[in-house]
Structure 1
Amino acid sequence: MDPVMSPAADPASGGLTTGAVARLLGVAPTTLRSWDRRYGIGPATREGGRHRRWTGEDIAALRDMCRLTSAGLPPAEAARTVLAGTSRDAPQPRSGRASRAPGPLPLGRARRECRGLARAAVRLDAPAMDELLTAVLDRYGLPAAWDEVMMPTLHAVGRKWETAGERYIEVEHLLSWHVSGALRAFSAARPSAQGAGGTGVSLLACVPGETHTLALEALAATLAQQAVPVRMFGAALPAGALEEAVRRTGPAAVVLWAQSRSTASRSLVARVAAIEWGVRGARRRPVVLVAGPGWAGEPPPGARYPAGLADAVDVLATLGAR
């Protein structure tokens, strides 16, 4: 068993460190320290009088704090409830009104990191999300962090507000913002050459009317990390602007993202695939990849439909090397 997963771990030290408990519960270490300092939800003992060491009883109190804050109670009120020993009998805010907080997300048998990220998102705990996202990117890298942690959590958040009458959309917006920021920071921390147009560049864009960009941001970050030249045009690029960008850059490939069938335009794919450049007798055309659930089923003729982020990276790296 992972030592971080068991409150009984490391008995010789008298308990777990704050960092270990944070990983166990999916809470930022700064949040745990804040709960200790502000509300008295802290360890009974400290190593050398300074360093926090959390026992099984301490961790049980923290679990109650996480449960109550996720159910909508303010941290101060949740702490009073936990310290009074009545947390399991008080799942609602003191006002008596039903909580509008989303509660647990439908993650199934997901990774432990997904559950931690989901709990932080539900609590709108921005510091915890940032720390968890940085940790999974450093530990797994891209695209594994995207495929196994970020994307499953985003899908769970989306399912939650869809099945709840589009309530709690603030959770999805905040999580999306922090995922986007983590991807950009990860890419910026690992700079690579970005070639000029015509040197195997990949052009990434959402089709007109499409605003979901995170999957393309993950692809752009991965390509940049692997020194594959990329141009990311983001959300809802107008068709005319897309065609002009293809003519100006002469890309090896164009990736078009569509989240829904209503935005997946097969005629746009055909127009982009037909654009030519270069000298007479040696003209070239881009390879078009379609990505996203909007293209599910039969992809447009001549277009490639990568199976996932890793597959798209492999295809684009190969095309860019030609």
Structure 2
Amino acid sequence: MTYTPRAVAGMLGIAPTTLRTWDQRYGLGPSIRTDGGHRRYEDADVEVLRRMVVLTTQGVAAAAAAVLARQKPVAARSGPRTPIDPAEAVLAQQGFLAAAKRLDEPMMSGLATKLLTDHGVVSAWEDVFVPALVDLGELVVSSGQGVEIEHLASGSVLHALRGIPRASSPGVLSALLSCAPDEQHWLPLEALGAALSEEGCMWGNLGARVPAEALLDAVDRLRPTVVLVWAHRTDLALRVPLEDLSARSDAVIAVAGSGWQGVPLPSAVRRPKSLQEAIDLVLERVR
């Protein structure tokens, strides 16, 4: 496939003049010129330009971004990650939302992966992904439109989170994550799981809409160190068998999500208030 400059500019959400400037100043031009002198971009050219857009959206100077854009994406680095600067977080949110509204999944995935690589799950989740997804959710509620935008954005974040390598060595399951019965919002559990992967912990996620009996059976069979159940509505939280979980397992039982606000909990059940608190709870038990 080849593309005209106008088509590429539309795909990337930039002005044709910007595309022309990047070609003239930084050599990020098309690989093909027709006999008539018309420029045509190939898929590889478009991917380089996608990386250029992601980098400039994050505040990287255009000249430096052009050098980085030509390089292949690097593997996730190990070692400490730096928190996201507030100004950078705002730029990242804006870039992610702009890509979402264009339904540009490659750009969203690229931005999400770079944030996770540079800053880790907690900072990327709390400072960029959650605010951006909340904005998209409010757009759907207020306008009745944009469900496809919200779903594609959530899928892009999920794809990036699942790119974090999981611990594979045999051992005790550090955490078993589950949604309440009929709870469908399970992306926060994937964020917790990815953060636990960064810490080298083994974890499992039962996903959305887990019946009470299925959760109890999984806990009996897997015998995890910590069981955490997510609910974003009170009526869903009330259907979780907390008493049975506590009675049938030696695991620490924890709950998370706005649905637990105001719900009376058994004394032994923990309720972390943030992603970092949930991670610390698991690490406290494991270590």
Q: 1:34 to 1:253 in 2, by over 3 A?
A: closer
Q: In structure 1, what is the equivalent of residue 248 of structure 2?
A: 275
Q: In structure 2, what is the equivalent of residue 259 of structure 1?
A: 232
Aligned length: 222
Does the 8 Å CA contact 1:200/1:319 hold for their aligned counterparts? no
Deviation at 1:39, TM superposition (A): 5.5
3-state SS in 2 of match to 1:204: strand
3-state SS in 2 of match to 1:227: coil
Q: In structure 1, what is the equivalent of residue 25 of structure 2?
A: 47
CA distance in 1, matches of 2:259, 2:204: 22
Structure 1 segment 174-189 matched on structure 2, within 5 A: 174-185=152-163, 187-188=164-165
3-state SS in 2 of match to 1:156: helix
CA distance in 1, matches of 2:12, 2:210: 45
Q: In structure 2, what is the equivalent of residue 293 of structure 1?
A: 258
Q: In structure 2, what is the equivalent of residue 133 of structure 1?
A: 112
Report the more deviating stretch, 293-302 or 248-257.
293-302
Do structure 1's residue 170 and structure 2's residue 157 form an aligned pair? no
Deviation at 1:201, TM superposition (A): 2.4
Does the 8 Å CA contact 2:173/2:222 hold for their aligned counterparts? no
* One-letter amino acid matched to 1:177: G
Q: In structure 2, what is the equivalent of residue 223 of structure 1?
A: 196
Do structure 1's residue 120 and structure 2's residue 99 form an aligned pair? yes
Q: 1:195 to 1:298 in 2, by over 3 A?
A: farther
Q: 1:290 to 1:222 in 2, by over 3 A?
A: same
Do structure 1's residue 239 and structure 2's residue 204 form an aligned pair? no
Q: In structure 1, what is the equivalent of residue 58 of structure 2?
A: none
CA distance in 2, matches of 1:37, 1:210: 39
1:243-274 superposed Cα distances (whole Å, 9 cap, x missing partner): 01111111211000001112002651111111
CA distance in 2, matches of 1:36, 1:251: 46
1:209-253 superposed Cα distances (whole Å, 9 cap, x missing partner): 001110000101111221112111111111111101111111211
Does the 8 Å CA contact 1:194/1:228 hold for their aligned counterparts? no
Does the 8 Å CA contact 2:13/2:102 hold for their aligned counterparts? no
3-state SS in 1 of match to 2:153: helix
Report the more deviating stretch, 295-304 or 226-235.
295-304
Using the aligned pairs only, state the percent identity. Answer: 32
Partner of residue 317 from structure 1, selected from 277, 280, 283: 283
Deviation at 1:160, TM superposition (A): 1.0
Does the 8 Å CA contact 1:114/1:150 hold for their aligned counterparts? yes
Deviation at 1:38, TM superposition (A): 11
Q: In structure 1, what is the equivalent of residue 182 of structure 2?
A: 209
Q: TM-score, normalised by structure 1?
A: 0.63
Query: Comparing both structures, which one devotes a greater share of its residues to helix?
Result: 2
Does the 8 Å CA contact 1:266/1:300 hold for their aligned counterparts? no
1:161-198 superposed Cα distances (whole Å, 9 cap, x missing partner): 0111x32111111111111111001x23xx424544xx
3-state SS in 2 of match to 1:180: helix
CA distance in 2, matches of 1:223, 1:292: 18
Structure index of larger Rg: 1
Do structure 1's residue 145 and structure 2's residue 124 form an aligned pair? yes
Unmatched tracts of structure 2, length 5 or more: 1-6, 30-52, 54-87
Does the 8 Å CA contact 2:176/2:226 hold for their aligned counterparts? yes
1:42-75 superposed Cα distances (whole Å, 9 cap, x missing partner): 3347237x347xxxxxxxxxxxxx9xxxxxxxxx
Does the 8 Å CA contact 1:207/1:263 hold for their aligned counterparts? yes
3-state SS in 2 of match to 1:142: helix
Does the 8 Å CA contact 2:228/2:256 hold for their aligned counterparts? yes
Q: In structure 1, what is the equivalent of residue 273 of structure 2?
A: 307
Q: 1:256 to 1:39 in 2, by over 3 A?
A: same
CA distance in 1, matches of 2:221, 2:227: 13
